[in-house]
């Protein structure tokens, strides 16, 4: 079966004037237009192609890579608003349509929004929705605490930042645990901090406990080397100063410099920390 909105591995079956026809194992076929045919491709070759609806709503294949695939999320830019909805650039010849009913608020041309690609079963057409919460399911959580995950930065609130975890779950990153600049629509590495009884997920940008110390030791050493072996920071520095210079919490900073001190890599003095000469 050839799947809309996804990459399919298909075989070149025959050549026609308008392009190659590709087939799956069951004999179902789809057109790959001439403009997408890779150089040197011939009958019998296998191609990995993306399947979507063209401007005439025909199902066709392309060798281009879209910015969004079925049931996944991406931050896209609105290129046109019409009486029926908005069109967003997703990297293909035909822009992806977002009906008004699938917009949390009316989209504005030139703005960017996080959307999910879905298949409208009534019309068998691909479309996008900014009502992302209905595509996120926290009922059957397959990630575990401390596991490394991918976070898509969504709305910023007074409490923290709402995130999409591995394109599957809703999560939250609390404001007092953010020590770097985050941008809406950005993808960053994170870690599962806690899975609550109500299936709400807390995440962090740093590993928990001692696992967080080693990478932050390196960050401090790198900063020391960049500043001639001295940083005007110590146990008495404010959390704001530490965050501004090192993008880490004071608690993490104290753990890291404590470890470096025990290894005699640094010395801690009243003016700050110094890198010991080898």
User: Looking at residue 209, what is its pLDDT?
Assistant: 57
DSSP per-residue letters across 160-206: EEEEEETTTEEEEEEGGG--S---TT-EEEEEEEEE-TTS-EEEESS
User: Looking at residue 188, what is its pLDDT?
Assistant: 95
Q: Do domains 148-205 and 210-275 have the same CATH topology?
A: no
What percent of the chain is helix, strand and coil (3-state, nearest 5)? 20, 40, 45
| 21-62 confidence digits (pLDDT tens) | 999 999 999 999 999 999 999 999 999 999 999 888 899 999
CATH superfamily of 7-62: Nucleic acid-binding proteins (2.40.50.140)
User: pLDDT tens string for the chain (278 positions)?
Assistant: 999 999 999 999 999 999 999 999 999 999 999 999 999 999 999 999 999 998 888 999 999 999 999 999 999 999 999 999 999 999 999 999 999 999 999 999 999 999 999 999 888 999 999 999 999 999 889 999 999 999 999 998 889 999 999 999 999 999 888 878 899 999 999 999 999 999 999 999 887 655 555 788 888 999 999 999 999 998 889 999 999 999 888 888 998 898 888 888 889 998 999 998 76
Question: Cα–Cα distance between 208 and 206 in angstroms, integer?
Answer: 6
CATH 3.30.2080.10 fits 148-205, yes or no: no
- CA–chain centroid gap for 258, Å, is 34
Question: Cα–Cα distance between 275 and 264 in angstroms, integer?
Answer: 9
Tokens 């909805």, located at residue? 85
User: Looking at residue 211, what is its pLDDT?
Assistant: 59
Tokens 């070149």, located at residue? 12
- The span from the first CA to the last CA of the chain, in angstroms, equals 64
- Contacting residues for 160 by C-beta, under 8 A, at least 6 apart: 172, 173, 174, 175, 177, 178
Residue 99's H or E segment, with its range, is strand 96-99
What fold, for 210-275? Arc Repressor Mutant, subunit A (1.10.10)
Task: Identify the three-state secondary structure at position 95.
Answer: coil
pTM: 0.79
CATH of 73-133, one of 2.40.50.140, 3.40.30.10, 3.40.50.300, 3.90.180.10: 2.40.50.140
Structure tokens at 173: 């990153």
Query: Which strands, in side-by-side order, build the sheet including 96-99?
Result: 96-99, 85-89, 73-81, 112-120, 125-129
User: Looking at residue 212, what is its pLDDT?
Assistant: 59
- CA–chain centroid gap for 19, Å, is 34
Domain boundaries, given as residue ranges, for the chain: 7-62, 73-133, 148-205, 210-275
- Contacting residues for 269 by C-beta, under 8 A, at least 6 apart: 234
User: Looking at residue 210, what is its pLDDT?
Assistant: 52
Tokens 């640094």, located at residue? 266
Residue 47's H or E segment, with its range, is strand 46-53
Cβ atoms < 10 Å from Cβ of 155: 12
Query: Which of these, 27, 56, 50, lies nearest to 125 by C-alpha position?
Result: 56
- Contacting residues for 187 by C-beta, under 8 A, at least 6 apart: 150, 151, 152, 153
Query: Which of these, 46, 8, 52, 7, lies nearest to 33 by C-alpha position?
Result: 52
User: Looking at residue 50, what is its pLDDT?
Assistant: 98
């Amino acid at each position: 079966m050839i799947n809309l909105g996804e990459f399919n591995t298909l075989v070149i079956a025959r050549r026609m004037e308008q392009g190659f026809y590709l087939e799956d194992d069951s004999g179902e076929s789809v057109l790959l237009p001439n403009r997408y045919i890779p150089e040197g491709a011939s009958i019998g070759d296998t191609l990995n192609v993306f399947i979507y609806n063209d401007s005439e709503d025909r199902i066709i294949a392309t060798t281009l890579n879209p910015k969004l695939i079925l049931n996944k999320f991406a931050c896209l830019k609105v290129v046109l608003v019409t009486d029926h909805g908005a069109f967003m650039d997703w990297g293909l010849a035909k822009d992806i349509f977002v009906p008004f009913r699938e917009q949390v608020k009316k989209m504005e041309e030139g703005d960017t929004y996080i959307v999910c690609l879905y298949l409208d079963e009534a019309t068998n057409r691909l479309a996008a929705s900014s009502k992302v919460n209905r595509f996120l399911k926290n009922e059957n959580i397959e990630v575990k605490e401390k596991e490394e995950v991918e976070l898509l930065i969504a709305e910023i609130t007074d409490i923290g930042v709402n995130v999409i975890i591995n394109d599957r779950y809703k999560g939250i990153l609390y404001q007092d645990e953010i020590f770097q600049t985050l941008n809406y629509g950005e993808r960053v590495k994170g870690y599962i901090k806690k899975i609550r009884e109500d299936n709400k997920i807390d995440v962090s940008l740093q590993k928990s406990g001692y696992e967080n110390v080693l990478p932050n030791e390196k960050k401090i050493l790198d900063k020391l080397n960049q500043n001639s072996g001295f940083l005007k920071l110590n146990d008495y520095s404010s959390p704001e100063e530490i965050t501004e210079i090192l993008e880490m919490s004071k608690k993490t900073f104290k753990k890291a410099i404590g470890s470096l001190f025990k290894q005699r890599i640094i010395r801690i003095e009243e003016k700050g920390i110094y890198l010991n000469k080898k």
